[in-house]
Structure 1
Amino acid sequence: MASPSKALNENFAYNSMLARALVQLIPAHDRETVRIWFNKLHVMDRSAEDMKRRNEYMWFLLLMLQNKRLQPPFNKSPPGGELRPLNEIISPDIYEDVLMSSDDQSATWLDTACNMDQTCKDVYTSEDQHFPSTHPAEFLNNQPLPQNGIICYVAAFALTPKRDYMLRGSFQRSRLNEIESVL
């Protein structure tokens, strides 16, 4: 059986991988804040209690990213120092609904983008909102541009050796036939 800290780290790594993929779907102005949260959460590994708290934060952030809406505490940069337990920061109803429930149908808070003082703001419904296109021809346009450096995408493929040999051989024969017909 795996040690508890190893299981916590594996759980965090998996959720972190999913969250890093989903961060591309949120508005560009929120991505940097989420990346700061990622960095903060990645260094929380001193004790089992820190790891549990880190995993709760990551799970909650992952749910926010799946819904493409950031709510407190993730709509601002993380505070310096230790993070308080998540159940002290968000309302108890939301905490219970999100972290304690395994039923996907019970996540009613995702439908209402209300923050802690119950003022609802749906900041992601503006018409100037741009979400990345999923069309393959738009792939490069959706990639982040590095400030210093380059982007390199490579596609490598090969035919099976027998088929590759046959194609090259038939190409060379047809090319020789063309040359002979010209002479």
Structure 2
Amino acid sequence: MCDMVEDLNYEFNYNMFVIRTMMSSLRHEDRKKVVCWMNKLDSCNHSIDEMRIRNGFMYSLTENVQKGKLKPPFTEDPPQEPLSDMDQQIVQTERPFISQQSLDSGSFLDAQPNVRCGAFCYLAVLSKTTEG
């Protein structure tokens, strides 16, 4: 149990360091949001489950900062109440580009799993009809 707390805190502090070193590339308003989120996440350490949720948010926040653009939920101030699972916090406001371009408006892709780490591969095999 103690090792788990230590590992979770190490991962959190590492991502905190990464964010601090890259924050200068963000717009001023985004930096303010990131600082608010880091302060919120820094206080989420009362249980193992809370620390796991905290680290999920921190990992995603780190990715946002590395890409130079914040996405929900980080575009808003952090909630005052305790954090719930990250997937429950994110509200999709725009459909992904691939869904917009697909023939079925993304219905097939929407039914597929969303991976947080790794990749989801999609292969389509189409046949061209020939006219006699």
TM normalised by structure 2 equals: 0.69
Q: Distance in 2 between matches of 1:96 and 1:58?
A: 18
Say which SS state the counterpart of residue 96 (structure 1) adopts. coil
Deviations 1:98-131 (A, max 9, x none): x2x235xx6xxxxxxxxxxxxxxxxxxxxxxxxx
Residue equivalent to 1:11: 11
2:5 partner amino acid: S
For the Cα contact (< 8 Å) 2:23–2:65, is it kept in 1? yes
Deviations 1:38-93 (A, max 9, x none): 00000100000010000000000011111111111001110102012102123697
Count of aligned pairs: 101
Residue equivalent to 1:72: 72
TM normalised by structure 1 equals: 0.51
Residue equivalent to 1:35: 35
1:54 partner amino acid: R
Q: Distance in 2 between matches of 1:15 and 1:40?
A: 14
Q: Distance in 2 between matches of 1:29 and 1:82?
A: 24
Q: Distance in 2 between matches of 1:48 and 1:102?
A: 24
1:96 partner amino acid: N
Root-mean-square deviation over aligned CA pairs: 2.3
Q: Distance in 2 between matches of 1:32 and 1:26?
A: 10
2:114 partner amino acid: E
Q: CA deviation at 1:96?
A: 3.0
Matches within 5 A, 1:35-114: 35-90=35-90, 96-97=114-115, 99=116, 101-103=117-119
- Identity over aligned pairs, percent: 29
Deviations 1:129-175 (A, max 9, x none): xxxxxxxxxxxxxxxxxxxxxxxxxxxxxxxxxxxxxxxxxxxxxxx
Q: Distance in 2 between matches of 1:71 and 1:91?
A: 10
Gaps of at least 5 residues in structure 2 are 93-109, 121-132
Of structures 1 and 2, the one with the larger relative CO (CA 8 A, separation 6+) is: 2
